[in-house]
Structure 1
Amino acid sequence: MLEVEHNTVVYPPNKCLERKIELSTTPVVYDHLLFLDFNGKGESILGSSNLNGTVWEGTLLFFNNEENLQLLKYNRSLIGSTISDGKFLNDNTFALAEDTGVLNILSLSRENAAIESAGYFRDVDRIPKLAVWKNSSRVLTCSKNSVTVWDINSAVRKPVHNFQNYHTELVNCVDTVKTEPNVFASVSMDRKCCLWDDRDASPATVLYNNEFCSLTSVACNQHNTNYIVVGTEGGDIYLLDKREPREFISVASCNCEIYRIVFDDSNRLAVCGDLNKVLVFKCEDEILNSAYCNDKHCGFVRGLAWHNETLYSCGFDKQVVKHLL
């Protein structure tokens, strides 16, 4: 008869070993950098996640200047679940999209140098992307085939609007017209780009329908709000004019699945995807013209942010790159 020591646990051969899952006690800057964003003071947030470990964990990093960001010398940090996107709402408050389906609202304490919770909301499933409006407490998220508008100042943790089944498949990305607090756009695996105004009884209209590829990213031109750019699974970006629905007016190829598209305050458009390159296009005379290409990253690029007319990027190589265009 087999003798076992006292307090030894024996698991049957068909049962997985059980262990207690605990988050790290000290911040870890993981190789997978997923997003970055700036506030008006030049401070920034950077999201890193452990995507190839047994426990998917995320670390949010805060930097008080651009030099520290490039050196990854963070001033504050927060450890939690994996995070997919993040945006500043104002200089002291930002929103995080988590893979758990939580929209986490956090604030910067100027007194004790801490990152504090300002509330949270729960969506139906994983939140891949979020967007915000200028000078607004509203946050826009997508999850599964739904698009949701939240008000972080609301006393109840329920959405202002939850639009389900307008898209028939997974919604990949959303973006806002930042100066119009009710207008936004969404793209989905159902190959459709929808333009929304949540004041209308029928809030969504199909702006564009790609015949061949799912749409993976969308960005609204904040300089000229008539224009929207969408990216596809096949690697193309299409310039759309909301005054001419159902048709695109210009197209450019990026040779990779598009992950993120970001306009600056004029007509420059930064693009990244399943490639180590950062591309910039200029929207001039209703044409997408290639203006810049950089391959300093060693892995897929995932995060893009403009600050003071300068572009910053991060990706799957634990590196933040400053682009002088």
Structure 2
Amino acid sequence: MYDADPMKDPVWAPGKNQPFNVWLEMHKPSQLNPDDDQWISISNTAKIQTDSEGDEDLRNAADKAWKKVAILEKRMMAIQKNVHLPVRATRVGQKTKAVAEAEARDELIADLKRLAEESACTSGKWLVHPKASEVDSTWSVIARSVLSGPLRKVGVLYAKVGTTGDFDSGGKPACEIRIHVIDAWDACLVRQVMETFLVKHGICPTAVKADLYTAAGIARDNPCRLRSTIWRPDELTPGGAREIRRLSMQFAAKINPSPGSSSVYSPSRSSSSSMQDQVSQPSINTLPSGSQTRGRADFIAKVGVGATFTPADMSRKENPCCACNFKLQDPSATART
């Protein structure tokens, strides 16, 4: 859903009189007021669809999704009150409350996917949560890539950045960057976009969220403990977190080809890299720490803040990647956030 409002939000699209570089310099996410609920948006197509144009199907689907979630809440309450379902199994094969709840959530996840497909509302977005100190440089990389770089080549048409309402440890507003895709359930598509982030830009996206989930108000802290996202990076690769790290190494090796060079790239070392690949790259350490990657300690340690890259890492043989050549992990079977 392209929900920027051209009447109040800064939007750049082809045909705009103002040069893109000038516009980008004038509209920095670090300058956004968290109280304004404002988005900065970039599109590489001439027309940006807004909430009031063409989103009736999404609103109708969201109403149906919300009702399904309400039914799940009642079902969860019934499971908790069911005296025949124990908290812990006392014999082999006995169903517990936790198992019954997981089955109910999985059924709803399948229903929501089916609803999205039947309503032609499969769009969604990759989420990126940069540090407050790096949000401007990270947004600059993504905006340029969407306009005429690697992200455009893999079919991304639109991206935006705004504040989340939260604040970091230094009291600065936290920002979220959304990179929109036409089908959030298409594993091949979203994996291709993820690989572009990792290999071309050294950026680790957090998760893929469906626009249907957003419109239906399915947030991370929902009472049903329903997962609010469809994919996380390590669910899109056969090797999980190791594969994510391997892809990140390709970017690190490109930035620091010499074994004796410094291991972490930062904007201050930026350079004459071509806009097609590395446009004023932010630090590779753009993955947020903490809650965004629960249970992914290795993922954080290897790719997130403080990552270091050894010559052995950089010399690993590159393997061909195709999202169609492996059996994907079922997201519904993973821990829910």
Shared fold per TM-score greater than 0.5: no
Would you tell me which structure has more helix in proportion to its own residues? 2
Structure of greater relative contact order (alpha carbons < 8 Å, 6+ residues apart): 2
Would you tell me which structure has more strand in proportion to its own residues? 1
Q: TM-score scaled to structure 1, two decimals?
A: 0.24
Q: TM-score scaled to structure 2, two decimals?
A: 0.24
